[in-house]
Amino acid sequence: MSMTPSAHQTMLDQARWRWSESLFWLLSLAVLFVFPSKALLFSQIAIMGLFALSLDLILGYGGIVSLGHAAFFGLGAYAAGLMAKHGLGDPLLGLAVAACVAAIIGWLTSFLLLRGSDLTRLMVTLGIALMLFELANRMASITGGADGLQGMMVGPVLGLFSFDLFGKTAYLYALSVLFVLFLLARKIVHSTFGLSLRAVKGNALRAGAIGISASSRLVAIYTLSAAFAGIAGALSAQTTQLVSLDVLDFHRSADVMLVLVIGGVGWLYGGIIGAIMFTLMQDWLAGITPQYWEFWIGLVLVCLVLVGHDRIKIAIQSIGTRLSGKGGAA
């Protein structure tokens, strides 16, 4: 049985690379040359975007509400940090190892998420993140405990570009990693695997009835998402040359969820756009009220839920299509 042409066409249309997307990525490169002094902030945005993208894979496409995604971010950060501390400072090697470590733990823990309700999943993800936090806190001889990991020596990227003080290399490095992983995620969610994942999220029982195994899909996407989050953590460790317990904190899991929700759940640009808005807002609010900016974050969350958090996504998407429409006509 092949798909009807129209259904096939719809799927292809969804996966098509739009003109506005090229514009988005070109702009994200251009900001570095317009505001070179803000490069460190931009690299933070890129890393946060990647982290939110990884959460979107399980939340938006897998339907798993996780309150402990910082576990994988932290694992990646500590993996890359420890390698750099012990003389293996090559950034790309660090990324690869961080991805593997996070993926292995993600794969192992994904089996715990297959049973139970949303609440059970929430608790298991939260519990695992808290356990890792406690572990990192207690194993101070390895992780540096509350003082953080010190003495990281990160080598130049590809042996050519060393990290500078102003964060120019850091941003270009983080942006390229984000772009490559974004393309990969885009490929995956538009593949048949991605479509079957959406079927499972829509209705696991019916998906099972047409021969899609929910468990294997969820395990696969959770592992992938963990690897992405691990890479985000490693990027953060390498660009800031600092790993502290903060990478595993509950706040980080809650923040990344907020980031994703601001930008919109269930589309890949959601995490990145959310990261832009969140980090700029954080930067701005922290400038005004450094101590109490959490209050405003909370207020944003509450208002977003009351207003309906899909509105922003719909607004941005409609701008995107309008731009693409003009581009096609010109």
Partner 1 sequence: MLTILFDGIAYGMLLFVLACGLSVTMGLMNFINLSHGVFSMAGGYITAFLINRWGVPFLLCLPLAFLFSAALGMLLERTLYRRLYARSHLDQVLFTIGIVFMSVAAVDYVIGSQQQTVKLPDMLKGRIDILGGSIGLYRVFIIALCGCLAVTIQTLLVKTRFGSQLRAAVDDPRVARGMGINVNTVFAITFAVGSGLAGLGGALGTDILGMDPTFPIKFMIYFLIVVTVGGTSGIMGAFFASLILGIADVGGKYYVPQIGAFIIYALMVVVLIIRPQGLFTRSRGK
* 134: contact with partner 1 by CB under 8 A: yes
* 277: contact with partner 1 by CB under 8 A: no
Q: How far is the CB of 304 from partner 1 (least distance, A)?
A: 7
* 137: contact with partner 1 by CB under 8 A: yes
Q: Between residues 307 and 315, which has the closer beta carbon with respect to partner 1?
A: 307
**Alpha carbons 232 and 229: distance in angstroms, whole number:** 5
Cβ proximity of 235 and 217 under 8 Å: no
* 141: contact with partner 1 by CB under 8 A: no
Binding mask 191-230 for partner 1 (x = CB under 8 A): ----------------------------------------
Query: DSSP secondary structure string, 158-223?
Result: TTTBPPPTTSHHHHHHHHHHHHHHHHHHHHHHHSHHHHHHHHHHH-HHHHHHTT--HHHHHHHHHH
Q: Residue from 2, 117, 141, 192 that binds partner 1 (CB under 8 A)?
A: 117
Q: How many other CB atoms are there within 10 angstroms of residue 187's CB atom?
A: 12
Q: How far is the CB of 251 from partner 1 (least distance, A)?
A: 9
Q: How many other CB atoms are there within 10 angstroms of residue 219's CB atom?
A: 18
Cβ proximity of 85 and 152 under 8 Å: yes
Cβ proximity of 272 and 178 under 8 Å: yes
| # chain residues binding partner 1, by CB under 8 A | 43
Q: Between residues 242 and 285, which has the closer beta carbon with respect to partner 1?
A: 285
Q: Which residues bind partner 1 (CB under 8 A)?
A: 59, 65, 67, 112, 115-120, 122-124, 126-128, 130-131, 134-135, 137-138, 250, 254, 257-258, 261, 265, 291-295, 297-302, 304-306, 309
